[in-house]
Structure 1
């Protein structure tokens, strides 16, 4: 059932926060823990809960974000000079705690030069492209660094996309490293005994993680794929080769938008899955920054 626009606006609020600490998870992944009293009101719904993160520009002590403007904050923010206004990016809550109020957010450090070399190349293939502002910020962030989150004040909010029907026989997840935090959140949330088949593609074998919901749980099978430099994603080939159990699945696909479309086309067109049982999200698009994608969404580019 839909909600009125006014009700939708009441689902979200701004939460000033700061970095508590950071921890490397692998060659290209970094976990940042955010804290602050305002986060007590952040009502995450678990699973693939997303939110908007506002970061300061280089040289700024805090994000330049006019959220005191009420519902007009977005237009006021857009009116600021691009080099002065806060950087806005979309992220997933990996974990949330209430005492003290904290959120864990995992960053893929593409292009920061901090990843381990790929065998035989001397460089991490992800580092061939310049890092985006969020990856640069995360790579350098220290305790006390100030940010602002725009997130939910109700747990049942529109930014949770993983919603399997009660009659699904099993869950199928396919994702790249940008959606790895969401996969972790989903596996933590799944009821005990849920049958889940999971494929995750990462740039480096050492980026594979112990996912809490999958550790020692019968019925949860996780396959880690390592992306080959200069080669297309291996997710489609892996899914095509997989023998799926009998029954009606609920599929959740996330990562690079072109790859996600191919995965969905395979499941619906070749496997015959009901399209309504396939949730898919392009977390990024090859050759396009999030700023460009957001501008396109608002009709600001041709």
Structure 2
């Protein structure tokens, strides 16, 4: 199984909320499986200053070899890489949609997205079934008595695809922290879905979502929980669910997408490494 590596070109930029840009890309190549399952992870490669498009890692027969190929690119040419969730694929085309959270002109992805225009080119690595969980989300959700999805605005693209994949009859809850009321988005689902929007309104990212769990009365029965967003908040919520609510660790799928006051280029903390080890052990 090889990991797809391709160039993509911007064809449309839309502001779906004041702080979220949905950018549609045309991919030069795109496997048929892309966009057919929820929560598909990918990496975008951004060009170095002065370059129109990034240098991409050479394709490898070894599915894990792409990163070594990426590191083999001379540092002065090596693209900046950031992780995203595929928001959608337009049926019958090679057009994919990716949402960018515009949280200030501070990082390479946000800086690029604020200025993105048709014709701009990036590189895309993935998505690939190589990184899919062994138990598909819909299957895990169907085996539970109820489902909870919790995260911040960076988790919204994944949450939207996940709730859309839920079948009828599933009881599902989504708790989503966003900057303010203007950042709400419509979520479509066949499940019995209740959405709770939590407005940060200037509070520390992750704090409002974390506080929402304090003293909450959860539904009876065995849940399946999906958590993503700011790493510290995800860690705290997961610990609370396991230690205070008795939720089984194997019933929680969790990912720290980003870290408050740290970037993806900063070294992982001891807690980050522990989370990664436990997550990989669960997979």
Q: Is the structural similarity TM-score above 0.5?
A: yes
Match of 1:257 in 2: 231
In the TM superposition, what is the alpha-carbon distance from 1:83 to its structure 2 partner?
A: 4.5
Preserved contact between residue 27 and residue 96 of structure 2 (Cα < 8 Å): no
- CA 1:205–1:262 in structure 2 vs 1: closer, same or farther (change >3 Å)? same
For 2:238 and 2:269, the matched residues in 1 are separated by 25
Task: Tell me the distance in 2 between the aligned counterparts of 1:34 and 1:76.
Answer: 24
1:237 partnered with 2:230: no
TM-score (norm 1): 0.80
Contact 2:2 2:60 (C-alpha < 8 Å) held by counterparts: no
Change (3 A) 1:73 1:100: closer
2:123 corresponds in structure 1 to 148
Aligned to 1:248: 222
Q: Cα deviation per residue 1:25-71 (whole Å; 9 max; x = unaligned)?
A: 11211111111341254534522110111121232111112325765
SS at match of 1:279: strand
Go from structure 1 to structure 2 and tell me whether the alpha carbon gap of 1:294 and 1:55 turns closer, same or farther (over 3 Å shift): farther
Distance 2:269 2:6 in 1: 24
1:287 equivalent to 2:261? Answer yes
DSSP 3-state at the match of 2:90:
strand
| TM-fit CA distance, 1:231 | 3.7
Match of 2:159 in 1: 183
Distance in 2 of aligned mates of 1:68 and 1:275: 36
Change (3 A) 1:226 1:82: farther
Higher mean C-alpha displacement, 98-107 vs 170-179: 98-107
Cα displacement (A) at 1:239: 2.1
Two-structure CA RMSD over aligned residues (Å): 2.5
Whether the aligned pair in 1 keeps the contact of 2:148 and 2:174 (CA below 8 Å) is yes
Unpaired runs of at least 5, structure 1 = 1-9, 113-130
Distance 2:31 2:243 in 1: 44
Q: Which has the higher contact order (CA 8 A, sep 6+)?
A: 1
> Structure 1 209/241 Cα, relative in aligned 2: closer, same or farther at 3 Å?
farther
Q: 2:247 aligns to what SS in structure 1?
A: coil
Taking a change above 3 Å as real, the CA distance of residues 267 and 45 of structure 1, as seen in their structure-2 partners, is farther
Unmatched 5+ stretches in structure 2: 274-283
Q: Please identify, of 103-112 and 284-293, the stretch whose mean Cα deviation from structure 2 is larger.
A: 284-293
Aligned to 1:221: 194
Q: What are the superposed Cα offsets for residues 100-147 of structure 1, whole Å, 9 maximum, x if unpaired?
A: 2211111111112xxxxxxxxxxxxxxxxxx11011111111112112
Say if 2:160 is the partner of 1:169. no
Matched, 1:99 2:92: yes
- Number of equivalences: 266
